[in-house]
Amino acid sequence: MSSLGVAGTAGAVAVFAHFALSLSWLESFLIGAVISSTDAASVFNILRSQKLALKYHTDSLLEVESGSNDPMSYMLTMAAIALLSGAAFSFPLLLAKQLLIGASFGLAIGWLALKLLHSRLLPSQQSHTVFLFSIMVLAYAIPAEFDGNGYLSVYLCGIYIGNSKLPQKKYLVHFFDVLTNVAQVMIFFLLGLLVTPVELPSVIVPALVLTTFLTLVARPLVSAAILAPFGAKREQIALVSWAGLRGAASIVFAIGAVLAELDITYNLYNLVFCMVLLSISIQGTLLPFAAKKLSMIDPTADIRTTFNDYQDDSDISFVRLRLKEGSSWCGKSLAELQLPKDLLVAMIMRNGEVLVPDGSTVLKENDLLVFAAHSFEDEEHHALEEVVVDRASEAANRPLAAIPSSSARRVLLIKRGIDTIIPSGSTVIKDGDILVLAPELERE
């Protein structure tokens, strides 16, 4: 789908544009090449917002296809620009250089980056984020300097690194998600600056004709031709066909064509703007409806576990607890504590030794217990609140139990200098303390 699909879609649109709009073959080929790439972010923004996981791993298929079809669309666009500008070039040589150089640099840079990430040269999470951002820039710039495909290089580099075990991987993926969203906003902002509204009426009809053909004829035919031999079900093929949204990639490729100052019939920028707008507004709006109508929604799956939206491998969190002198747990076995089934003592650290406990393990003073439990996922986004205590505060220099305010019942912990205190009713609040409060729930 990512290579043959793009080539097939570009060819079908080119043939249709030539006969339906009376355009030259090269002009038609340029339009087909620019608009042939699908947009992963548009599809998955819709699926994530609607929490729609698809059957038969269709969501992963769409993600991989949309993420990897940009290199082919880029090469076709560059070939069309070269032909229209009259430049002499060899398409087989261009294809070979783009693929070989792009793939080689992408994998090599990914391998080197992974080695550095697992070394101790980058100690903090922030340094990992900055380092990976720099790697992505290099993964595009270096192969592009040698006439390789920068898009393919970045994609393969990201695949190589993303499929490996990384420290703080969850936070890294969230950073690049935000970066992707910012880049998309910038692209559409740039498109808005370059599009001339008074010129749009002249391209609305051809844009509507091309979008209709692309959505209802070209994309379904190409999808069926590629997926049917692999035993794909009809409803899966139908949904893949409908989910071929156009977006940021087409806009970027249109920029390249406009910068080449080609002499063509229609303003390519305005044409692409209308086609992208039609695709997102019509296909995007009806995508959840199509998924439900085709019975392609998988209620047992989680859309967040797909290719581009990473979750931790486990939803388990670990918490440590030091048994202090006089603790009621000292001298008791784990079985006697009658802990909840979902709370497990994973290990005990005693005098520098690590113990793997069972129910008969007796706890001793100064043991460090490591508990394992399911992570809390705050779907309603209840936020913790921090309050700084000053001399004028009613809480200053008073025990927690003596504070009349309802906030006292919400104090989860106290930050005092570099120390973190788990409070009890007798804990005295001091000037300069930072109280971390639980969210205040609304009363019905």
Measure the CA–CA gap between 353 and 443, rounded to whole angstroms.
48
Closest CA to 440 of 384, 365, 401, 394: 384
Each residue's pLDDT tens digit, 294-346: 888 887 766 655 544 544 445 567 788 888 888 888 988 988 888 887 788 88
In order of their start, the domains of the chain are: 4-305 (1.20.1530.20), 316-374 (3.30.70.1450), 385-437 (3.30.70.1450)
Closest CA to 19 of 27, 302, 96, 391: 27
How many CA within 13 A on the CB side of residue 15? 7
The 3-state DSSP class for residue 58 equals helix
Residues listed for the chain: 444
Measure the CA–CA gap between 402 and 293, rounded to whole angstroms.
60
Measure the CA–CA gap between 184 and 178, rounded to whole angstroms.
10
User: How high is the pLDDT of residue 304?
Assistant: 59
Model confidence pTM above 0.85 = no
CA gyration radius for the chain?
Answer: 29
- Unique residue bearing structure tokens 């809390």: 376
Stretches where the chain sits below pLDDT 50 are 307-308, 310-313, 443-444
Identity (one letter) of the amino acid at 361? T
Closest CA to 27 of 274, 260, 275: 260
Each residue's pLDDT tens digit, 124-142: 667 888 888 999 999 999 9
Does residue 91 contact residue 75 with C-beta atoms inside 8 Å? no
Q: Where are the alpha helices (DSSP H) in 119-245?
A: 125-145, 150-162, 169-194, 201-213, 219-227, 234-242
Identity (one letter) of the amino acid at 194? L
Each residue's pLDDT tens digit, 163-221: 787 766 777 877 887 887 888 788 778 777 777 788 888 889 999 999 999 999 999 99
Identify the burial level of 37 via C-beta atoms within 10 angstroms of its C-beta, where 0-12 means exposed, 13-18 middle and 19 or more buried.
Answer: buried
